[in-house]
Amino acid sequence: MKQVVNFRLSTSATTTLSILEKKLHTSKTAIVEQALQSYAKKKLLNQKGLLEYAGILGAQEADSMLLIIESSKHNKDDINLEL
């Protein structure tokens, strides 16, 4: 079941959302969900690449580090820094 979420968008963003809804024949919810997933994937891949490029961590270690960082944002009590 989907969760109800409230947030404010600019007039430009709501216009864009309405245009995409009509052109893609899909719901505004589907568009926002897809955009959010795409944004998150892009940002996480960029962070992983930075950690690998710096030579600090390998790919698997970078993935683990990012998971720790993401989970610690939500639950400060369960931080486990073992890689």
pLDDT tens string 23-63: 999 999 999 999 988 887 777 766 666 666 666 667 777 77
Tell me which residue of 29, 35, 37 sits closest to 4, measured CA to CA.
Answer: 29
**Is 0.75 topped by the overall pTM?**
no
C-alpha distances (whole Å) from 50 to each of 7, 18, 78 are 31, 36, 25
Residue 66 has a pLDDT of 76
The pLDDT of 60-73, averaged and rounded, is 75
The predicted structure's pLDDT at residue 83: 45
Confidence band, pLDDT 50/70/90 cuts, at residue 65? confident
Joined together, the tokens standing for residue 56 give: 């600090």
Least confident of 4-8, 11-15, 22-26, 52-56: 52-56
Q: Which sign does the torsion angle of CA 37, 83, 53, 75 carry?
A: positive
Instruction: Report residue 40 as tokens.
Output: 């998150």
